[in-house]
Amino acid sequence: MLPVDLPGTVRDALLAPLVDHHCHGVRRDDLSRAQFELLIGEGGVPAPPGTTHFDTPSGAAVRRWCAPLLDLEPHAPPAVYLARRAELGAGEVNRRLLAGAGVVAFLVDSSDRQGPQDADVLSAAEMGRHGGAAADELVRIEQIERDVAETAQLGVDYLDALADELAARAARAVGLKTVIGSLMGLDLDPARPTRGAVIAAANRRLADPKELLTDPILLRYLLWSAVDVARERGLPVQFHSGFGADPAGLSAFVRELQPLGVPVILLHCHPYHRQAAYLAGAFPHVYVDVGLAPPYTAASARVVDELLELAPFHKQLFSSCCRGLAETGYLGALYYRHALAAALGSRLATGEWSTSDAARVAHMIGSGNARRIYRL
């Protein structure tokens, strides 16, 4: 299972069920090759003529590691893989791959289910059932704002409805999530916007409620509203970070949050994971995710190893960032375990760490830290 030879307690710790603290639902329907390729690729567009999204790190990983779960040889050609996937049917494939991930609890951002494709994506509860695991909800705050913007009439109503809806949704969730980083970057002015500025912005917003929200005043207002709810309910706030959203920009905001005691969880972070590790070391309420978005799982070995030499062990969390394809959930867990196995193996081989510390840290990152922070 694991690529290196390890003492029994460390191996057991690595193979113990994981808390996948950030994932999305996967498609329930049978997919054509074109649909499947779009979900492997990152840009949401087909590969250029003469090429295929299978010729990517994630495409190669699917053929290597997922093929055996569909009873195929490793490295099965794309056509063979997809034929077998169709033969088994999406339900069976999802069950095999999600259960194969060895996850005890999925924390699911279900906002992909909004809009026309609702029915095509598994709900949080269904993710749990397919994977033989518990499941809880994460609330993506920009999704709430979109729902509110589409129904509110006046700026004041909008603000009230936002507060109500955030509170109502948070009451059923284990954490909040923001994608402000991909909407305006993470170099945030830490001050709360004034009420006057917010109402003016809200009135502008309501003139065009279908647009993607990019107004920095409203985005920051939304974030602060989420922080207030998170503080009240003892919930952490997840921040999407990574390309275009360097978590280093979040320093001032994070410092502002420190007295409030709201945990800040930095998701993905690659290629800025070293900056995220710095924040996790410097601030007691900041955490860092060692899970990588599907296109980057092949980079896990390097990233997991670097975080282990840079960030406190009680600040690191596993996630698969599974999305669309159950393959990504399986690969996220598999590459995480392989990467941590290699990192611990080399520390044990040189005597840098003891066996009991290695096993203990594997438990912390795999599930213990998430149980503590999300109060599971």
* Interface contacts to a copy of itself, rule CB under 8 A: 3, 41-43, 45-48, 50-53, 55-57, 60, 64, 74-75, 243-244, 248, 251, 270-271, 274-275, 278, 281-285, 295-296, 298-299, 302, 306, 308-314, 350-354, 357, 361, 364, 372
Helix axes 355-363, 8-15, angle to 10 degrees: 10
Of the pair 219, 276, the CB lying nearest a copy of itself is at 276
Report the first-to-last Cα separation within the chain, whole angstroms. 28
Minimum separation from the CB atom of position 127 to a copy of itself (A): 26
In the complex with a copy of itself, which residue's Cβ is closer, 29 or 211?
Answer: 211
Could you say which DSSP state residue 43 is in?
S
Q: Do residues 333 and 103 make contact, with C-beta atoms less than 8 angstroms apart?
A: yes
Structure tokens that stand for 282 in this block? 């410097």
- Cα angle, residue 330 at apex, residues 40 and 325 outer, rounded to 5°: 35
Q: Are 158 and 206 in contact, with CB atoms under 8 Å apart?
A: yes
- DSSP assignment of 77-104, as one string? -HHHHHHHHHHH-HHHHHHHHHHHT-EE
| 34 vs 45, beta carbon nearer a copy of itself | 45
The single residue listed with the structure tokens 């995220």 is 276
Cβ closest to a copy of itself, residue 84 vs residue 360 = 360
**Closest distance of CB 142 from a copy of itself, Å:** 20
CB of 15 to a copy of itself, least distance (A): 18
Instruction: Indicate the residue among 239 and 335 with the shorter CB distance to a copy of itself.
Output: 335
Strand partners, 66: none
Strand partners, 99: none
Q: Which is nearer to a copy of itself, 221 or 278 (CB)?
A: 278
Q: Nearer Cβ to a copy of itself, position 69 or 99? A: 69
Least distance CB 157 / a copy of itself (angstroms): 34
The residue among 91 and 271 lying less far from a copy of itself, judged by its C-beta, is 271
Please give the structure tokens belonging to residue 335. 């590459």
Q: Which helix (H) or strand (E) holds 59?
A: helix 57-61
CB of 189: closest distance to a copy of itself in angstroms?
Answer: 16
Angle between helices 300-310 and 273-282 (to 10 degrees): 30
Do residues 348 and 355 touch, judged by C-beta distance below 8 A?
A: yes
Yes or no: say if 316 and 300 are a contact pair by the CB < 8 Å rule. no
